[in-house]
Chains A and B, each alone.
Chain A
Amino acid sequence: MTKALLPQLIVTTPPPLAYRLYSIWYRHIRVYCKHLVSNGFPPFVEPLFFLAGVGLGLGHYVGLIDGTPYLLFLASGMIAPSSMFTAAFECTFGTFIRLEFDKAYDGMVSASITVTDLFVGEILFVGTKGFFFTLAVMSVFTVFGLVPSYYAILTPLVGFFAGMMFGALSLFVTSFVKTINHFNFFLTGCLTPMFFFSGIVFPITNLPEWIQWVSEVFPLTHSVRLIRACCLGQFSSLLFFDILFMAAFTIIFGYLAVSRLEKRLIQ
């Protein structure tokens, strides 16, 4: 077979990586914003109910925690999970529906988009959701006078990276899931315990030592610590460990998720 028989090359330049990621991000933002109120409202008010219920009720019996009034301690903790939950729901149920029911990804990868673009773009999108959810909850708490430090302006940034971290983890979980009901294991089996043992409602320092170790492995613990530090303006060099943990966790699980989902989409 000589080369002359092959089709002639049509010179072309598909959009660069950054633009492809942007186009995926833009697609998700556009679709999400169609139902902004119903999508955004519940996760926005839920922390308020929790804060009112637990903070006002229990706060009466609890004095200072590490020198901080309980209500401030709880409020600074309650900002973190909003970003976790929005990312986790988006990248479990949302991703699965796009993958199996809507076949949205099939369409997207038939355009000039690779599977890696698809999911990295999606992780950036849930990071963005994390940013705005954190900003919203933090702003409401600020209005109620529960956020004492100006450094709280940094919390949406932590929310962005936390959203990416939980997006990567959730995509990894989704890559294993065959039917949509399996997500209950992840959401009730992993996220709920994480919520209680990440130092949101009470500090982990007084728990049995083995639980303390377990909670150091929980990704939520690290985003709680960073957000609380910003809200209360109490920084320590140990926070670098939390940043490092979040970065490593996101990269590792992001990589695993993308390569597993690639096998599912490209045979």
Chain B
Amino acid sequence: MTEKAIYVEHATKHFGDFKAVHNLSFEVNKATCFGLLGPNGAGKTTMMNMLTGRVRADSDNARIINVLGYDPLKNELEIRYLTGIVPQENNLDVELSVSQNLYIYSKFYGLPQNVASRRISELLEFMELTEKKEARIRELSGGMQRRLIIARALINSPHLLILDEPTTGLDPQVRQAIWDKMRMLKKTGVTIVLTTHYMDEAAQLCDDLIIMHKGEKILQGHPSALISKNLETYVLEILNTDVFSTIEAKGFRTEETAGRLMLYGDRLSSLETVTEPLNAGDFFLRPVNLEDLFLKVTGRSLHD
């Protein structure tokens, strides 16, 4: 049996009357990547913060939260000592240099000076920041700052890495580079918990994920298994609103938004038949992806 890193059963959190997380249960195996997906306000960050004691779960006898063998309500310090956290917002000390930022954090974990400096050069190397070692934070691009924050979260060689929207606002090169680093970390035995709004990111990294909506779990599973279980294989998106009325949509599951008509089907050839009278540029025919599933289960309306 695979070893677990996190075990959560019946986790609930209210803020006043607002139910942020409701009766959530999941487990995360060691050295895997677990994703928490959901629209804004779904409770992803709240759930992640409950793992490290930053948010205290509502007391309930049925509730079990166990992270690396510890209960966050009793042993938050032990959990945080074993965990690296990458917050949503960058919070580097802008007055200090790149290596000083890492050195300050090494102190929080009580690393001896020689261990800290060795670890800092390793991490700068790993995150490709060695040249920026002495740079001030202001001189770094957004992607470099993000990489530095990830390096900072790794300073104490964590068993668990928690990432809250790690690649939001970054260019494709940086995103791909960060994904590669995450895969390398997973290989070394680090367990990763991730929230993201990018479905391609989740599909790339996650071995298991849950889609949350209004504090509750809607779906859980491996990304590709979830897609094949809950969706057709292909989707035809028709973008020209003028032709909607002429489309023969019988036999397909359809969805319509203000600017698009979507036909879902398992056979590519039958969808191609539909596209025959259409001009190129009026439609997209493509395999379904995690984003289609996400929108199907959380709805297309705006959540905030």
Contact = CB atoms under 8 A, between A and B. Distances in A.
Interface of A: 1, 5-10, 12, 14-15, 19-20, 22-24, 26-27, 30-31, 34-35, 102-104, 106-114, 265-267
B70 interface: yes
B227 interface: no
A22 B109 CA distance: 11
Residue among B4, B7, B77 with most chain A CB within 10 A: B77
Nearest to B94: A102
A10 B68 contact: yes
Interface of B: 3-7, 9, 15, 27, 30, 49, 52-56, 64, 66-70, 76-78, 80-83, 85, 87, 89, 91-96, 100, 104-105, 107-110, 152-153, 156, 159
Contact of A266 (B55, B89, B159): B55
A6 B69 contact: yes
A106 B48 CA distance: 14
B118 to A, nearest CB: 18
A5 B91 contact: no
B219 to A, nearest CB: 22
Contacts of B82: 10, 12
Contacts of B9: 1
A111 B152 CA distance: 10
B48 to A, nearest CB: 11
A30 B96 contact: yes
A262 to B, nearest CB: 11
Contacts of A20: 108, 110
A31 B93 contact: yes
A111 B109 contact: yes
B95 A35 contact: yes
Contacts of A24: 108
A35 B68 CA distance: 41
Given A15-B110, A23-B110, 6 more contacts: A5-B4, A7-B67, A10-B69, A110-B52, A265-B54, A267-B54
A26 to B, nearest CB: 6
Given A1-B64, A266-B54, A7 B6 contact: yes
Given A15-B109, A103-B87, A110-B52, A30 B78 contact: no
Nearest to A103: B91
A266 B107 contact: no
A114 B105 CA distance: 14
Contacts of B80: 14, 109-113
A34 B15 contact: no
B23 to A, nearest CB: 15
A5 B95 CA distance: 46
A5 B4 CA distance: 8
A155 B61 CA distance: 55
Nearest to B6: A7
A14 B77 contact: yes
B52 A7 contact: no
Of B5, B66, B82, B107, most A-chain CB atoms within 10 Å:
B107
A143 B83 CA distance: 53
B109 A9 contact: no
Contacts of A34: 95-96
B81 A112 contact: yes
Q: Which 5 pairs between the two chains have the least Cβ-Cβ distance?
A: A9-B69, A15-B110, A111-B108, A110-B85, A23-B107
A107 to B, nearest CB: 4
Contacts of B81: 12, 14, 112
Contacts of B85: 110
Contacts of A27: 93, 104, 107-108
Contacts of A107: 87, 91-92, 105, 152
B77 A114 contact: yes
Contact of A111 (B5, B78, B93, B105): B105
A26 B107 contact: yes
B56 A104 contact: no
A104 B91 contact: yes
A142 B110 CA distance: 41
B95 A10 contact: no
Nearest to B76: A114
A224 to B, nearest CB: 33
B161 to A, nearest CB: 11
Contacts of A8: 3-4, 69
A102 B30 CA distance: 33
Contacts of B153: 110
Contacts of B27: 5
Contacts of B30: 7
B96 A31 contact: yes
B110 A19 contact: yes
A108 B6 CA distance: 23
B68 A9 contact: yes
A104 B93 contact: yes
Contacts of B6: 7
A104 B94 CA distance: 10
A1 B9 CA distance: 10
